[in-house]
Structure 1
C-alpha cells in the first residue's frame, strides 16, 4: 500500500497541532515519524486512522483520495493502528479481544474458534507465541502489544501504524519488536513507526521524517547521526551525554539495613538488603526488570510492608504511611506515571499539587486556594517546559513525556531529604531526557541524596556515582560507574562482583575492558558475555538507546 498525506492541518480551537504536514509512505517501507513529546506525531496518526477529522488537507491511498469518518473506515481501507496505550479489555481472553469489532457468528453464538485459528496462524507466521485463550491481564506488556498487532493483521491491514511502541517495553522486548517489524516489512506490510528513540529509529527505518511543533522539518535517511536527528527534533544542539562534576558526598543520609519484603503469596521479593546513600550522591539501582527494583522503591515509600530498617537522617521510615514518608521529605517518581503518578481527568494544575494539597500555600481550611494553584502551575509549566495548551487541560490529554515532566516538576517543587525516581526518563524524548538529567544532577549538587532505578544502562552509567546491582531481590554488590559493562552484565545475571573478578577472561588478558564509545553506540558485538561458571548469561542487558 502506498500512503500519501498532503498538507494536513489539524486545529483544536486556535491551537494547530499539525500544520501543512505532507509525507509519503511507499509500499513495504518502514517510515519513521520522529519528534519530541508533544510535536504532533500522534495527532497526525489519529487523523490518518479516522479518530480525528483534518481541518484541511487530504489523504491518498494508492493515489486515490479517501475520507475516514472513523477507525472502521481506515480498517476497511487496510490501515491498522497499535496505540501507545493498548486498547485491550484486560479480563477478556486474547481471542475475545481480537474478535471485538469484527465478530463472526456461528449460528446464534460467537465463532471464537475461527478467531483462535487466525491467531494461531499469524502467531506461527511471525513467531509471536501468543495463546488465544490466555487472559490479557495475565500477559506481559510485550505480549499484550503482540495481541494488538494480531488484531490489526487479522483484519488484513496492509499498513500498520505503531505509536510509540517501545515506550513500555524492556530492552529485550524492544529488540523482539524490531525483529517483528522487519519481518512484517519483508511480507509487504508498510509501517509508520512513531518514536523519539534514536537508536531504534536508525536501526529499523527506511526513511525518517522529523516533526517539530506540528510541522515537518525534513526527511533524512537512517544514516543520519544521532546528533543530527536530535538537533532536528529539538531545534538546537542537544547533548547526548550527561555533564556533571565529581560528587561531593557528605554524611550518610539514608541507611537501609536488613530490608526484607515478602509478597502476599509468601514469596520473598527482597532479601536482607543493606545499603546507604550519602548527601550529594546518586545511587543508581541496576538490574534486569523484575528483580526487585520496583519492590525496593515501594518499600522505601511505604507502599509495601517491610521488615528491617530504613532510616532517613536518623528517623525510621519502616511502618510509616505513604503520607508520613512524603512529609518526611521523600520525593517519588513512580515507574508508571499514568497509573501511579497522575490523575488523568484532573487538570495539569491540580496534578502539580497532588501531594501538596495540605500545604498552607494551596489550602485554606477545607477549601483549595485556586489562584495559588494556578500561579504555581504557570511557574512549573515555564520552569519545566511542559507543553500544554493550558494549565486547565486534563493531564491525560498531554503526551507521555509531558506527563512525566508534570510528575518531575511536582516532586522537585518542595524541599527534599531524598529524591527517589523509578525509570525517570521512560517514554521521554532526547531533549526532555537532557533536561530531566540536568535537574537530577542539580538536585544531587544541592546536597540531596538521590536514588535512580533504571533498566537503561546508558542512564545508569551517565548519572550514577555508585551502582547497586539487584538480582532476584538480592544485592549482588555496589560498584563504581567505571565498572566495565561485561562485569555489570554478569552481576545482573546473578554473579557477585567478587565472583566475576575472580574468574579470568577466556583469553587471560587480565580482565574485561569497557567497550569503546563506538562499540557502545553500536550495541553488542562479538560473543555473548560469559557467566562466572562458564554459562552464557541469559538476556544480558546490552540493549542501549540514545
Structure 2
C-alpha cells in the first residue's frame, strides 16, 4: 500500500497539537463560523476543505490571531490560548503561509528570512546571515539560494522562502493556503516531500486546497466546512474525489470533458478574430515580460495557456484586453491592426477580461457591489439613459448578474471587498461574459473556487464558446486545460515554448515545457 493510501494511526493517549472548540465568528448579516470543532494531531497533515464562503479563511485567521472568535476556545498543546495578533500565534508555534507572498523583493533570501526575527544577530554580515539560512534550508529540506534577491527567484522558490521564514520561527503547526497554485507538478512533489519530512518529527500541517486529488495524496485526514459549520472529519484513505465533492457542496458533482460540441454550436472560424504577431511587452518594472509572442485566437475555440504563474501570463492577458501596451510587434483584431492600448475600445470590440488579480484589477474594492457589477455597462442603457445614471436600473442589473452568477448578496450597497474571494470571482466572470461577444480572456477563472463553483464557471465558458466567442483560458490546472482547450500554448519566461493540439497530449511533456525543459532534460527551443 502506498504512503498516500495508508490509514493514518494516532497512538492512544496522544494529545492534539491544536484544538478548536466551538469556534464562532459573525459579521454583519453573515455567519462565518458556527460551533466548529477541529483537532490537529502531531505528525498529521490535516486538510481543510469547503466551498467559497464556507468559513475556511475566517477559521484560519482566528487560529493565527488576525481575528478573535466571538465564541469558543483555542487550545495549543493542552493550554487555552488567546491570540490578539499573528505575532502571538507564531510565538505559540502557529505559522501561516498565505497565497499571496509577503516578501521584500529588493532583499536577498537571507535578509527576508531574518527580517523582523528576534533571533537575528544584531550585527551580522551578509555571509553570516546566508550561512544561517543555508543551515535552516538543510534542516527543513527546502532548497533555497541564500544570496539571491527575491526578484531573481521563480514563484516556487519564493514559496520555499516564505515557508522557511515561518519554520525558522519554530512553528510546530504550518498552515498553507492553496500552496500548489504557483507550482509546477515537479515543484509540488518537492513541496509534498518537505511537508512529510516536517510532520515526521511530530509537527503538523493544515493544508487548504481546492484540488481534491492533491488533498487525497498529501493529507492524513480531511475536515470539511459547509456554510460556516463543520460537516465532518474523514480519513483521507477512506475518501474519493467524488465523496469529498459531495460533502463540500451537499450534492453529486460530475466533472466531464467539455471539449465536445453540441449540435448547433458555432464552428471554429477559419480566420482568427485576433492575432498576436511577434509581440513584445514590458512588465511594470520596465523589464521584458513577453518576447516574440505569436498566437491566433479563432471564434468558437478555446486556446489554453499553460505555465507556472509568473511567467508572463498577467502581461499576456493585459495586452489581449487593451490594458497594457506592447513594445514591439502587432495586434490584429478582425483584420485591423490596433495601434494603442485602450481598455474601453477593446470592450466596445466585444472583448471581456477575467483578470488574474480580481480584487485590484477587476474590481474597485471600496465601491458597492452594484457599481462593481455594472461598471462595464455604465455608459449604456438601461444603466445610463440620455446621459443620466439610473440607480434603480443599475441595481436591477446588478441583481440579475448576481443571480446568474449564483451569488447570494445580503446588501448590494456594501463594499464588494466584503464578499468572499470566490464570490468576487463569480461576479467578475459573469460581468465580463456579458460583454465578451468576440473574445473572453479568462486568467485563472477557477482559482480559489470550490469544485461546484468551478464546474459552473467552466460550463459558462463552454456556453460562450458554443455561442461563437473565442476563449483564451490561462490556467495552471493542466486537467482543466485538457478538459476544455482545443489547443494549448505553453508559456515559460515570457516565451511560448510550443503550441500543441489537444488530441493526444503528453501531460509529462507539457510539465517539462512549463519548466523550460524537454523530456531529454535540455532547454526547450522557443516556439
Displacement of 1:449 after TM fit?
Answer: 2.0
**Aligned equivalent of 2:453:** 432
TM-score scaled by length of structure 2: 0.83
Go from structure 1 to structure 2 and tell me whether the alpha carbon gap of 1:323 and 1:182 turns closer, same or farther (over 3 Å shift): same
- Native 8 Å contact 2:184 2:511 kept in 1: no
Go from structure 1 to structure 2 and tell me whether the alpha carbon gap of 1:475 and 1:377 turns closer, same or farther (over 3 Å shift): same
**Aligned equivalent of 1:297:** 317
After superposition, what is the alpha-carbon deviation per residue over 1:217-270, rounded to whole angstroms, capped at 9, x for unaligned? 111121211000011111111112244642541533514263332548786934
**Aligned equivalent of 1:349:** 370
- What's the secondary structure of 1:352's corresponding residue? helix
Range 411-420 or range 337-346, more displaced: 337-346
Go from structure 1 to structure 2 and tell me whether the alpha carbon gap of 1:89 and 1:249 turns closer, same or farther (over 3 Å shift): same
Range 121-130 or range 207-216, more displaced: 121-130
Go from structure 1 to structure 2 and tell me whether the alpha carbon gap of 1:180 and 1:401 turns closer, same or farther (over 3 Å shift): farther
- What's the secondary structure of 1:17's corresponding residue? strand
Displacement of 1:441 after TM fit?
Answer: 0.6
- Native 8 Å contact 2:47 2:206 kept in 1: yes
Among residues 485, 489, 495, which one is paired with 1:464 in the alignment?
485
Displacement of 1:426 after TM fit?
Answer: 2.3
Displacement of 1:433 after TM fit?
Answer: 1.0
After superposition, what is the alpha-carbon deviation per residue over 1:73-116, rounded to whole angstroms, capped at 9, x for unaligned? 32222222222333344445444544454446867x68988765
Among residues 34, 42, 50, which one is paired with 2:57 in the alignment?
42
**Matching of residue 26 in structure 1 with residue 44 in structure 2:** no
After superposition, what is the alpha-carbon deviation per residue over 1:446-493, rounded to whole angstroms, capped at 9, x for unaligned? 122222223322112111233445566347345243445466567768
Instruction: Report the count of equivalent residues.
Output: 500
**Aligned equivalent of 1:331:** 352
Gaps of 5+ in 1: 496-529, 540-546
**Matching of residue 447 in structure 1 with residue 468 in structure 2:** yes
Gaps of 5+ in 2: 1-15
**Aligned equivalent of 2:7:** none
2 CA distance for matches of 1:113 and 1:398?
46
**Aligned equivalent of 1:3:** 18
Among residues 91, 98, 118, which one is paired with 1:83 in the alignment?
98
Displacement of 1:402 after TM fit?
Answer: 2.4
Q: How does 1:352-501 map to 2 (within 5 A)?
A: 352-363=373-384, 368-386=389-407, 389-414=410-435, 416-469=437-490, 473-474=495-496, 476-485=498-507
Q: How does 1:140-539 map to 2 (within 5 A)?
A: 140-223=154-237, 224-243=239-258, 245-246=260-261, 248-251=266-269, 252-256=271-275, 258-261=277-280, 263=282, 269-271=290-292, 273=294, 275-278=296-299, 280-287=300-307, 293-302=313-322, 303-305=324-326, 307-363=328-384, 368-386=389-407, 389-414=410-435, 416-469=437-490, 473-474=495-496, 476-485=498-507, 531=519, 535-536=520-521
- What's the secondary structure of 1:119's corresponding residue? helix
RMSD: 3.3
After superposition, what is the alpha-carbon deviation per residue over 1:323-362, rounded to whole angstroms, capped at 9, x for unaligned? 2122211011223334432333333333323443333433
- Native 8 Å contact 2:378 2:384 kept in 1: yes
- Native 8 Å contact 1:253 1:277 kept in 2: yes
2 CA distance for matches of 1:481 and 1:238?
25
**Aligned equivalent of 2:10:** none
2 CA distance for matches of 1:537 and 1:198?
32
Go from structure 1 to structure 2 and tell me whether the alpha carbon gap of 1:140 and 1:368 turns closer, same or farther (over 3 Å shift): farther
Go from structure 1 to structure 2 and tell me whether the alpha carbon gap of 1:86 and 1:106 turns closer, same or farther (over 3 Å shift): closer
Range 257-266 or range 164-173, more displaced: 257-266
- Native 8 Å contact 1:8 1:21 kept in 2: yes
- Native 8 Å contact 2:354 2:443 kept in 1: yes
Displacement of 1:204 after TM fit?
Answer: 0.9
Go from structure 1 to structure 2 and tell me whether the alpha carbon gap of 1:87 and 1:395 turns closer, same or farther (over 3 Å shift): farther
2 CA distance for matches of 1:386 and 1:18?
19
Q: How does 1:107-126 map to 2 (within 5 A)?
A: 117-126=131-140
- Native 8 Å contact 1:248 1:445 kept in 2: yes
After superposition, what is the alpha-carbon deviation per residue over 1:22-56, rounded to whole angstroms, capped at 9, x for unaligned? 11111121111111121101111111122212111
Among residues 119, 123, 128, which one is paired with 2:142 in the alignment?
128
1 CA distance for matches of 2:293 and 2:21?
61
Go from structure 1 to structure 2 and tell me whether the alpha carbon gap of 1:225 and 1:135 turns closer, same or farther (over 3 Å shift): same
TM-score scaled by length of structure 1: 0.81
After superposition, what is the alpha-carbon deviation per residue over 1:365-395, rounded to whole angstroms, capped at 9, x for unaligned? 8875444333332222222123555434434
1 CA distance for matches of 2:185 and 2:502?
23
Displacement of 1:193 after TM fit?
Answer: 1.3
